Amino acid sequence: MSKTEALEKLLSFAFVMSENMVGLTKGNYDEATFIKKTYAYLHKYNVDLSSKQELEKSLQRLEA
C-alpha cells in the first residue's frame, strides 16, 4: 500500500468516525449502534501490517 492509499484510508476513517459521533450526540442512535458501526467500518477497511508499519514510519517522520 502506498503512502497516499494509507492516508486516504485514514481520512476516510476520520470522516466516518466524525459522522458517527455527530449521529451519536444528536441522538440519531445509541452507544451500541455507534460501536457496531465503528466495528463494521474497521473490519471493512482493515489495515494490513505493511500499511500499519508505513503509517508508523510516517508518524515518526512527522514527530522528528
Amino acid type, 39: Y
Output the pTM of the full model: 0.54
Contact 56, 11 (CB under 8 A): no
What digits encode the pLDDT tens for the residues 9-57? 777 888 888 888 888 889 888 888 888 888 888 777 665 666 667 767 7
Is the pLDDT at 3 greater than 80? The verdict is no
Residue 1 predicted with pLDDT over 70: no
Residues 22 and 43 sit within 8 Å (Cβ to Cβ): no
Give the distance, in angstroms, between the CA of residue 23 and the centroid of all CA atoms in the same chain. 16
27 φψ region: left (φ > 0), alpha (ψ -120 to 50), beta (else):
left
Ramachandran sector of residue 29 (left: φ over 0; alpha: ψ -120 to 50; beta: rest): beta
